[in-house]
Amino acid sequence: MDLRLKGKSVLITGASRGIGLAAAKAFAAEGARVMLTARSLDTLAEARAAIAGAVVHAADIVTPEGAAAAVEATVAAFGGIDVLVNNVGGGGGGPRIADSTDEDWRKVLDVNLLQTVRMMRLALPAMKGREGAAVVNVASISGWVPQLAMSGQYGAAKAALIFDTERWALEFVPYGIRVNTVSPGSILVPGNGWDRYRMAQPAYYEDYVKHGFPMGRLGTAEEVADAIVFVASPRAHWINGRNVPVDGLEQPYPPLDRRAFG
């Protein structure tokens, strides 16, 4: 299937590894022009070497200055933005509200929610009037599946991101811009938290996978990337303001020991 992305300009945040990098490769494979942003120039250089024609820009997009610079660099390179993928996010804070601080909440909300709002606001002028423009926000099933192993701050931020995506879609639709969310379940990426847990607690990991994953394994970054690329493409023009889970029908299971995640 031709996803009609050839020549489209795509800005992806957090694109030097994991889901962001997999999405960049998938967009490039469809003929899109990709701008990869992340904080580390070294990891971005490795990513650029793996994707022919990719452009990179090192910036901390959680800061207003970094976000503005990423958007400006994309416009300078491509003349505008057709697709914005807000992939940056992260956990943090204590799993129990009694142990959390105001700063825990501010930090996690800033990384997972407020930076997304900022990126959309900054990118809007560069996306208006571009045929097939789309925003994809990467959330998580943690936004509606509460587990003690995951901090309440992270779940609340992702829940807000999922909720607000529909609100933003209503606001952006007059400009011809669709806004959707893709929510991964547990994804196994070399070196990530799940990979560390698998090595630290192999027996419990196998038991967790056996009982929590009907398909017998965790997901891959490439599987999430495929969903992101399709939802962003003109082929998905009738999908708007929606949340697309990519979780293999993952089921809640007894809490994990967070200490093994490192």
User: Is 154 a known active-site residue?
Assistant: yes
Q: In whole angstroms, give the CA distance from residue 37 to residue 147.
A: 31
Question: HSE (CB half, 13 Å, CA atoms) of 232?
Answer: 30
Q: Is the CB of residue 177 less than 8 Å from the CB of residue 134? A: yes
**Cα distances (angstroms) measured from residue 226 to each of 26, 192, 246:** 7, 20, 10
Answer for the pair 9, 79: CB distance below 8 angstroms, yes or no.
yes
Active-site pick, 154, 197, 205, 208: 154
Question: Which two three-digit tokens encode residue 7?
Answer: 């020549």
**Pairwise CA distance, residues 109 & 153, whole Å:** 7
Say if CB 34 and CB 27 are below 8 A apart: yes
Active site residues: 154
